[in-house]
Structures are given as structure tokens and as C-alpha cells.
Structure 1
């Protein structure tokens, strides 16, 4: 009898595995991911069924509703900002200067705008100093969104700063990701709510997606009074201040943006807040631009019709004529991005990529190591930052264009996470980014094929196995 029960259980698991394998073949976005899941579900359902339940979905089920809410958000903005159309038309740059990024405009259905003031913020001390100063100066509305908020020193400083502004009558909305901030204690949240601050966790809110580790909201936004926004790679935690050995010193980059494109960052927050709460947060229009930079705030995610984040990188790489420098903590590119990088090398473009020398996620680090070795063979100049851990997500294209945001060079950012970044066309700002990255490259060592070929066989095997998991890393 026990043997019969075991046999029936095994048969049931294999049948469930086959059913899920068919689901994967029909639903997973990439052929590589579909093959990996289908093979594992058919051959080893005992090991793969549970992970598939949590990680298998790659299409956002709330797509139709989110699009409907996006239309409602546009109408809401139009009512709150009747001068929107003439304001934005005044800040439309000459189209002949932006032909190389025309595909980005078509894909995101939004234009670049001129008249921005930019500030580069290098590492945690400068970033949070600027953010806390901006919060202290807020007069009406503070909108905050982070993937991670910790109840540690920097997290409690943020909490106290928000409590003080709430007491002064400032309206405050806070979004945090339910998975990224899983360790955030209830008392932290309740303390803010008791002060009148509206704070919620981002969740997909679908019966199956409720259990998904995919579709995380990886965006980092601090928006003050509708006219200045902070974007970049830093979350709220002491590790981002360099206080977590052995990953310290922590290398990261943020930026402040003022000008018309702030409205698009605001719109991204509005849509996320509407999705979570069913309500719309306060909206204030941006002020007239006081700078010369041309910018586009790109909010990408799994609810988009196209794989916008991956295509965004492909377009930026193809636009490069002299150089494309990239930094990312994770280097697990999809075939389209990897092909674009190799083609850029063939065009004579200076392609450099900076990645960490220390792992924060070991499986991702192993996969990144194999991809880095293959990139080196293709002529891409790969470097590992030696001191601490590099978490910044920065791109520098030629002498005038940069992108700073939350996007990593991996499948999770390309297809599974909600991300945001600012594409900035401005020679002075690009020069600042160049100086910053040159300093980083001076503290880095080149990656060679010996890193892979000289590794022991078990490590090389582990790298190849980790690469197979690329679609879910």
C-alpha cells in the first residue's frame, strides 16, 4: 500500500509537471526560458514545480487593467494641469538632434524634453544628504518609492524626516516593494501611518501572481512638490552607506532632475500608486526648466506591450558611434543585448562594462562570470571593480548622453521588474559621468578568459549551470 501511494504521488507530480511544462511553452516570453522550465518540469517535477509556482510567470496578468488605469491617470493629470500641452510643447527639442533615439520615443510613446537641470550624486553619503535636504524643503507633497526600505539607521532617519514633514502639514505617500522590503517591521509602517502618512506595499494583486517573486517594483523615486525628482540605484539601507562588510565600500550612483520630464516620473508613481490603492496620489505640475539638458524619464516593466527595458538598452547600444560604457552589479544579458554589444565592437565602438569583484548573490555572480568571459572573447572590455561592491546602473553613450536608473543588465530587469531611469543628453553632465566612470575604471582590473579557463572544473561547471538559470536570475 505505501508503495502504491508513492507511485501514485510520483505519477501525479509528473502529470502536474507536464501540465506546467505546456504552460511554460505557451507563456514564457523567451524560448530559452521556455525550454529550461519545460525540461525541468518534465524530468524533475519534484524539484521544479514549487519554484515554477513562484518564479515561472513572465507575463503580467494585470496588463489590461493597468492600461485602463493609465488612461484614467492621463485624464487626471490633464484635469490637474490644464496648461500641460502648451508647457510641454515649449520644451520639445529640435527633432533632428534626436533621430538616433527615435525608436525609444516610439516604444515608450513619449518624447524627450529640453530645459532640465541635472545633478550627479555619487555614493550614499551625497545621495541621502541631497534627498534629506530636499525633504526638509518640501512644502506640499512628498512621493517616495523604493524597492528596499530597512529599519536601520538610514531607514529611521528617513522615517523621522517624514514624520517631521507630516507634522508640518505636507502630504506624503510611500510605496515599498513587498518582497524587497520583506524584513520591514510592522511597527515602522504603523508609526508612519499614525502620523497621517500613506504607506503601502507594492503587490501584483492577482491570485496566482500574489505568490510570485517576479513582477517586483524595483523603481527608486523621491519626488518633491512635483518639480524635482531623485532617481538611481540606491535603496534605503545601511549597506548603501557602505556599512555592510564584506561588500563595503558600496559604490552606487543617483541623480537629481528638475524640469518637464519630472512629470513622467510623477506619472509612473501615479500609475503604481493607483494600482496598489485604487486611488490617485496628489499631483503638482513641474516648474519651468532652469537648465539646458534634454531628458526622457523611461519607466519600463512587464506590463508593457514590448520588452521595453531590453529594447531600451539595444537602442542605446546601437546609437553609440564612439563609446558605450556600462556599469551593472549583474551581467546576465539576453541574446539581443549581447548581440548589440558585439556589433558595437565590430563598428569600432569602445565598449566597456564594469561589474563587481565580490558577489552579493552567488548564483548570479557565477552566471555573470561566464558571460563576462564570453564578452571578453568578443572584444568587449570587461572590468571588475576591486574595492567593495558596485551596485550602480549607469550608461555613457558617446560624449553627450548618459542614463542613470534602476535597470540592471539581467533578465529580471529586462522582462520581470518595474524599472525607471533617466536618459540625459547634455555634454556637461556626460563629462561629469565620464570623470566618475574613469575613476571607477582606475580602481578596476580587466576580466580575461583565464578567469574561466583557469578555474577548477567544479567552478566552471557551476558557472555553466548558473547560466542556464539566466531567465529567472
Structure 2
């Protein structure tokens, strides 16, 4: 990772939509010049309509708004929803629009980031999409998730990154012609903004996770929704536990997709025998992508620890070095484990020892090689499309596509 740690930042942890959406809508309401939004999922429900209303109000008072959504995650957006935004002057971009017939198989290389920047001075980074399924009070299927509100100099890095993606229309932006903005220091926290793409930054997020594991001395807590990392990552977890670090994983116990829990459970025996503690969150589907190490290091972002996030999708995380933020995140996760999780014991695993050994042999070799195999798959590079709903096109469900400048 070439990015240096940037000092002078302030971070506020936001848990679930009840905390996240009001802060985002308030930030957009105070925007004077510009709003940049990237999200994997935007739905035409009460949350999506709330974002639309906030953006429309800002655009109508002269704020430049760029909204970028993923063509797979947000393919159900009605034309009327897009048309209202475009009519108000909002530039709506779609990453890799997916033809209707391919929507159920176009899972790979998606824009999975969740980013928002207002006036180049305030940002939001995390795993929360713009949909009502992130509201706890919406029902038992609501997702448990986190994001972080950011103020300080690191916001300039996020701002430049988002501008570069828009300007080049590429999935792996390198340069940005936008003027360099420097936000004033707002706190004492150090941070690094980092991303995963299919170009020069394929392994940055995973590499920083593994470095933190190797440097851990006292504790590690990882709360990750889709957990199926590679062989080296599993080895680092076990080695940390064996040298006396308390390593705790919070994984799905009430999954939104059963295959997610099945895949993670295949790793339980290996991890438990290596000294790693496993907790399954059972209250609702877990969607979080957060972690902490010892008393300073933490990360919040969009990246899961599975093949899609580690080898295919476009992701963004913040690394945070701040004792106060680490303490707040730890309190939230400890409360989650105490109130809503069940700890997995090796005696709960009802499999024969012989079968575990056979399965583990093939599983570990699969995990060890999947990044290489993934890299051999067709590395198509989807680009952004600037949506113009006035002219209908069958290629993207009735939306005319023109490449971004």
C-alpha cells in the first residue's frame, strides 16, 4: 500500500440505517456546491425516495450532484425515478448496465462501494446501501450494518477518488483533473482510504487485514457478513490465536442467503482447533464489514472477506488509527456478541473426523488457489454509463447509455 496515513481526522460510527440515513440526508441538505454518491443498491422504497428527495432539493438550489449506482444491484430502479433526477440536473451514472436476460448471472466485477462526499469536506464510508432493508424497525429481515462519518483531511482523498472515477468512466481511476481540496483538521485520528479494483489495487484491502493480524498482540474482532477468505488469511488468524491473541469472529447465524452460512461453516473446525472464537449473530441478517485490532486499529467499509470482494468486486474501506473510535466500535461489537450471538463450540460440529480431513484437504487447496483462478477469468472492465431516460434503449431496461467523458 503506497498511501500514507493522514492525520487530523474525526470519525463517528453509525450503526444501521436509523443512524446512517438521517446523517446523510442532513449532510446533503447543507451542501453548498457538490454531492457525490456511489452505492451498490438503490431501491425505489422509502429510503431510496428519501435520498431522491434530498438530492432533488439540493440540485434545484444549484448544487452539482453526481449519483453512481451499480447496474446489477440497482437494476430495478424505475425510469420515472431516474427521469426526475435527470430533469433536475443530477448526473446519474450506472456502472456496467446489465441486460435483462443476464441479470441473474452477472454477479462478477460489480461496483460494491458505498461512498458519499459533500462539498469535499464531509464523507461517509461503509456497507449500508440505500434501501429500507437496513432499517432495524423494518422487520426481522433488516440487516445489521455499520458506516462511518468522516471529517478532516482524508476526505480530500475520497473526493479525488470519486471524481477520478466519474471523469474517466473507469473502474480503476488513476488520475483526477479536479482541483486538490484540503479539509481542515477536525480531530486527532489517523486514516488511510483504500480500495480494491481489478487493476493496480487488487489486494490492498486484504493485505492490510493480514498485516494487522500479524501485528496483533492482544485482541482481534472481525464482524463480516460473507466470510470465506483464502488460505493465507486463515493461517494468519490461527497464528495470531496461537501466540495468545484473543481472536473473535462474528459471522452470520441468521443469513440472508443460506449458502453464506454453509460456506463459512466449512471453516469452523479448522479455525476452532486453531484457537479462534466464532460467534454467530442470530437476531437478524448480518451485513457488516468492520474489524478492530488491539486498542487503535480499525476498519470500516464495503469489503467482505469472500471471493467476490477479494477477487472481483470494486470495494472501498477506511483504515482508522484512533483509540476513541476503536473503543466505541469494540463496545458495540461486544454488546452484539453478548446479547445476540451464540458462540460455536467444536463439540457442536456433527461430522466424522475422517470426512473433515478429506473435505479440509480439498477446501484448503481451493482457497489457496482461487485468487489465481479468478484472475484467469475474462477480466472485462465495465465502464460508467451516463443515463438519459428521454431516449429509451433495450440494452439497459429502457435507459439510453452514453459513455462518461
Q: Is the 8 A contact 1:369 1:463 kept in 2?
A: no
Listed one character per residue, the Cα deviations across residues 184-222 of structure 1 (whole Å, up to 9, x for unaligned) are: 2222111111110001111299xxx99853111111011
Residue 270 of structure 1 deviates from its aligned partner by: 2.1
Stretch moving more, 142-151 or 272-281: 272-281
Stretch moving more, 309-318 or 414-423 = 309-318
Which has the higher Rg, Structure 1 or Structure 2? 1
1:171-250 equivalent positions in 2, closer than 5 A? 171-203=64-96, 212-242=106-136, 245-248=139-142, 250=143
Q: Is the Cα contact below 8 Å between 2:14 and 2:20 reproduced in 1? A: yes
Out of 238, 263, 273, the position equivalent to 2:156 is 263
Q: Secondary structure at the match of 2:319?
A: strand
Report 1:425-444 matches (<5 A).
425-442=321-338, 443-444=340-341
Match of 2:3 among 110, 120, 139: 110
Match runs of 1:54-65 below 5 Å: none
Question: Shift of residue 118 of structure 1?
Answer: 1.2
Contact 1:226–1:283 (8 Å) recurs in 2: no
The answer to whether 1:379 aligns with 2:286 is no
- Post-superposition offset of 1:166: 0.6
Cα 1:281–1:174 shift into 2, 3 Å? farther
Question: 1-side partners of 2:285 and 2:198: how far apart?
Answer: 28
Find 2:350's aligned residue among 441, 446, 453.
453
User: Given that residues 299 and 319 in structure 2 are in contact (C-alpha distance below 8 angstroms), is that contact kept between their aligned partners in structure 1?
Assistant: yes
Aligned-pair Cα RMSD in Å: 3.1
The answer to whether the 8 Å contact 2:302/2:317 transfers is: yes
Distance change (3 Å), C-alpha of 1:426 and 1:402: same
Q: Find the residue that maps to 1:142 and give its secondary structure.
A: strand
Give the TM-score normalised by the residue count of structure 1: 0.70
| Alignment CA distance shift 1:167-1:332 (3 Å) | same
Alpha carbons of structure 1 residues 283 and 232: separation in structure 2 relative to 1, 3 Å: farther
What is the CA-CA distance between 1:154 and the residue it aligns to? Answer: 0.3
Distance 1:113 1:425 in 2: 10
TM-score (norm 2): 0.81
Q: Distance in 1 between matches of 2:31 and 2:177?
A: 16
Q: Distance in 1 between matches of 2:86 and 2:263?
A: 42
CA distance in 1, matches of 2:177, 2:56: 18
Shift of 1:419: 0.8
Contact 1:247–1:358 (CA under 8 A) maintained in structure 2: no
Mean CA deviation greater in 361-370 or 154-163 = 361-370
Distance 2:364 2:239 in 1: 22
Structure 1, 271-280 or 192-201: larger mean CA deviation? 271-280
Match of 1:298 in 2: 194
* Structure whose residues are more often strand by fraction: 2
Cα distance change of structure 1 residues 447 and 295 upon mapping to structure 2, 3 Å threshold: same
| Contact 2:72/2:97 (8 A) holds in 1 | no
For structure 2, the residue ranges without an aligned partner over 5 or more in a row are 375-405
5+ residue gaps, structure 1, are 1-106
